Structure 1
Amino acid sequence: MKKLCLCFILFVMITPTVFANGQTALVTDEIYKDIESLKYPQVSETEKTGMEDKINKAFQKYIKESYKELKENEEQAEKYDFHAEYQTDYEVKYNQSPKLSILTSNYIYSGGAHGNTTVESFNFDIDKGKRVYLTNILTEKEQIEAVRDYVWEYATERPDIFYPDLKKEDIKLTKDTAFYFTDDGITLVFQQYEIAPYVAGNQEIHVPAEVYIKSDKK
């Protein structure tokens, strides 16, 4: 009996905190080709090994493309005589089983008044074994229109942040629109200049699930 109790205690002590606190995965930093400015995430300790490989391959593809862009920017800097800057970063936005959301940001300076930051979202559903895009959530035209209306109303109520003359048709909601999961819906992340001036940065707008999910589908 004592041996059984001891084994149980040891199991609890060594069981990853990922599962203890309901997280989907353990996310750690990786540096590509020993270039400190090229940081990207890798995951481990997911409940499905196959999905773990799929997620990591997605980020490996992302960082390889980022490296290519970095080298191209360096070539342009040498050609046109400006100081090139390039840096990748990421933030874990949601990590509650079975969902995982990681937002990457790529900053590039290619001359001019200032640099630009591009964001990309990587959303995964471990149970379904796939990456999730905005169009997997907003599958119907009515859902897209409902979310567009919500974003437009949110923006027009804040003319000091967003373009005061923003039109509904300016709000693009596509497969490539960045977003991340939340406990009660999603948060959309817009690119610089997309719906607000540069100084406003990448605007994030939370959209409750009730906006795009009908009561009979909840």
Structure 2
Amino acid sequence: MKKQFIALLLVVMSIVYTVPAMGAQEQEKADSCVGQAVDTCSSSMITIAYTQLDEVIKDKMGIPMLTVQGNTPTVTIGAHKKVSSRINAFYKKKVKELKVQEKEYTKMAGEDYNQRTQDEKKYWEGYGLGRTYSQGRVDEKVMSIIENNYEYTGGAHPNATRVAQTFSTQTGKQLTLGDVLTDEAKADEFINGFILQETKKYEYKDYFFEDYQQHIKELLTENTWYLSDEGFVIISNEYIISPHVVGILEFTIPYDQFQYLKPEYRPQ
């Protein structure tokens, strides 16, 4: 049963997260991309190609130790090669980090497998790692990339986390909260209040821990926000204000309600 669950999870993640998300102004192009089942999509002069990194790592006896599923983005911004290279260097480094992690988890899986009894080995499923990217808002001002990670080490269920990176498409610089907000302290206070009001909606009934309100302030970090076509997005990872069963949540503040985003980062 667990084996079927993991296989299903991998398929779902592949379908959901490897399809690039386009802006409203590019919806016709996005529909075309999805229809053709391609791994490359463009927004004006900006193109993001996704290279698959899927592999199954086996031991000398051919026993699967680690199933890896994911992709990595390669960005092309018109004729701005230096800007593209700056962003691509970031993701090349992330691939190297993933390869190091693969070796660590393969070793862990081998040690786990070897200490099991023959009966236990019959039900061996191997470990799993995933890192899959998709895109948020992409235009002549910014590019937001969403990174979904998961790991499975033989427990009751895989663990998943989501982070994001936002870059200037003019310079290639990875943007921080200090770069995009007019006043970090006031923006943080506004964001916490907005999320609190959202969580009180009926659609979120029974989603959260009893004391979740005091942990809302822990949601926003330098790695848990991005810009979408609709607004400023805050990622709520598992176990901060809600349990695993709820999954990863996102709260979007519409641009017209968020006065603390600098004008140069607002969509036209």
CA 1:104–1:32: 2 relative to 1, 3 Å: same
In structure 1, runs of 5+ residues without a counterpart are: 1-16
CA deviation after TM superposition for structure 1 residue 209, in Å: 3.3
Q: Is the 8 A contact 2:192 2:216 kept in 1?
A: no
Distance between the aligned counterparts of 1:165 and 1:214, measured in 2?
28
CA distance in 1, matches of 2:246, 2:176: 25
Match of 1:208 in 2: 254
Aligned partner of 1:161 in structure 2 is 207
In 2 relative to 1, CA 96–117 (structure 1 residues): closer, same or farther, beyond 3 Å? same
Count the aligned residue pairs: 198
Tell me how far 1:86 sits from its aligned partner. Answer: 1.2
What's the CA shift for 1:85? 0.9
Under a length normalisation based on structure 2, what TM-score does the superposition of the two structures give? 0.64
Shift of 1:27: 0.9
What corresponds to 2:184 in structure 1? Answer: 140
Q: Which runs of 4+ in 1 moved over 4 A?
A: 32-36, 214-218
Gaps of 5+ in 2: 1-28, 30-41, 57-67, 114-123
What does residue 117 of structure 1 align with?
160
C-alpha deviation, 1:154, in angstroms: 1.1
Counterpart contact for 1:152–1:168, Cα < 8 Å: no
Give 3-state SS (helix, strand or coil) of 2:212's partner: coil
CA–CA distance in structure 2, aligned partners of residues 70 and 99 of structure 1: 31
Q: Which of 213, 221, 224 does residue 174 from structure 1 map onto?
A: 221
Q: Which amino acid aligns with 2:78?
A: T
Q: Does 1:152 align with 2:200?
A: no
How far apart in 2 are the matches of 1:201 and 1:93?
19
Give the RMSD, CA atoms, in angstroms. 2.8
Question: For residue 30 of structure 1, what is the aligned residue in structure 2?
Answer: 51
Residues 59 and 216 of structure 1: is their aligned pair in 2 closer, same or farther, counting only changes over 3 Å? Answer: closer
Give distance in 1, aligned partners of 2:228 and 2:174.
16
Q: Percent identity?
A: 22
